[in-house]
Amino acid sequence: MLNLERLRPDHADALLAFERANRAWFARTVPDRGDAYFAEFPARHAALLAEQDSGVCRFHAVLDAAGAVLGRVNLVDIADGTAELGYRVGEHAVGRGVATTAVAHLCRLAAADYALTSLTAVTTLDNLASQAVLTRNGFTVVAELTLDDRPGLRFSRSLTDGRPSA
């Protein structure tokens, strides 16, 4: 079982440990956050909380039953009933349905609690696992794009079409 918790100040230490432990893993498919991200993590975490408080973003920690961080799922650039979905799952949790379940949960939250009507997401063309997570959750490809100099895809999903999340 996993839990989604809205980002809080007390998540900082566990999230930093999660990001450090998975840095090389994430860098295989997404651009590295850089050394400054880790050196300035407390200020960065506080800034994310401020963004969340302003209503333009919703950040969530994905936790296992014991409270360990398995990943993150976020909604950014919330405006006019839509937001962009982003997520990452640690290497030790890959292949267990964590990303699919977390995205499904966030889609339900986005519609029910955040009153959103649609979501978008982007991934690189070579990230087949991420594409599968999105497809399982009712997202469809709407455009090709370039993401950090790599070919990618933009996905979209209506939250009002009556289609259940995976």
Q: Please report the pLDDT score of residue 26 as a whole number.
A: 87
Q: Please report the pLDDT score of residue 165 as a whole number.
A: 46
Can you name the CATH fold of 2-158? Answer: Aminopeptidase (3.40.630)
> In a structure prediction context, what are the per-residue pLDDT tens digits for the chain, which is 166 residues long?
899 999 999 999 999 999 999 999 988 877 778 888 889 999 999 999 999 999 999 999 999 999 999 999 999 999 999 999 999 999 999 999 999 999 999 999 999 999 999 999 999 998 899 999 999 999 999 999 998 888 999 999 999 976 544 4
Domain segments of the chain as ranges: 2-158
Q: Please report the pLDDT score of residue 162 as a whole number.
A: 60
Residue 110 φ then ψ, to 5°: -60, -40
Task: State how far the Cα of 90 lies from the Cα of 72, in Å rounded to an integer.
Answer: 9
Determine which helix (DSSP H) or strand (DSSP E) holds 15, and give its type and residue range. helix 12-21
